[in-house]
Amino acid sequence: MLTVAHVFGVDPGIVDTGCVAMLFRPAHRTLLVEHSVIAGDDAQQVSDWIRGAGCPGPKWTFIEKYEPRLKLDSDQRMVQAEANLRHALADAKFLSNRGVKRVIPQSLMEVFGCWSWPTVTHHQDLRSAARIALLGMAKDPRLNAIMADVVRDHLEGRPWRVAHG
């Protein structure tokens, strides 16, 4: 079992890129949630923010995969932004957001303190970044175990202490 896990979620965007970090300490039943909004699609700034997070233990980074839809100019910019992120964060996992709202609903995000944010973004980028991080956790067996502990404790009336940094 992991004693600490640092999970990052990134929602890339042309206007804003939302970045969320969640530091889990299961033995203490605590979760620290931090965020950053990066103007535009600056992959190096995203990488610097993640690498600069002084965290003990392993890191997992999940990034929302861009899926071109309308063949607009913004599609090309987003494809390039994703390529830049893949280069800057080679160990990150890119996940589709299709169906993510059914898998990671508002009620679950509220348990993890990831629904409401003090910072306003162009397209709820922080909420999307948190949602993709939680989706990544659900897909990883070790992280899913932590996620299950948080939810189980919440349902049993023993919620984890969630702090925002």
pTM of the complete model: 0.94
Query: Any idea what the CATH number is for the domain that residue 103 is in?
Result: 3.30.420.10
Alpha carbon 64 to its chain centroid, in Å, reads: 9
Around Cβ 132, how many Cβ atoms within 10 Å?
27
Q: Give yes or no for a contact between 106 and 124, defined as CB atoms under 8 angstroms apart.
A: no
pLDDT tens, position by position, 12-38: 999 999 999 999 999 999 999 999 999
Is position 130 within any domain?
yes
pLDDT tens, position by position, 142-153: 999 999 999 999
Domain count, the chain: 1
Is position 164 within any domain?
no
Is position 24 within any domain?
yes
Is position 109 within any domain?
yes
Is position 61 within any domain?
yes
Is position 94 within any domain?
yes
Is position 165 within any domain?
no
Give the ranges where 53-140 is alpha helix by DSSP (H): 73-88, 100-103, 106-111, 125-139
Structural domain of residue 70, as residue ranges?
Answer: 5-158
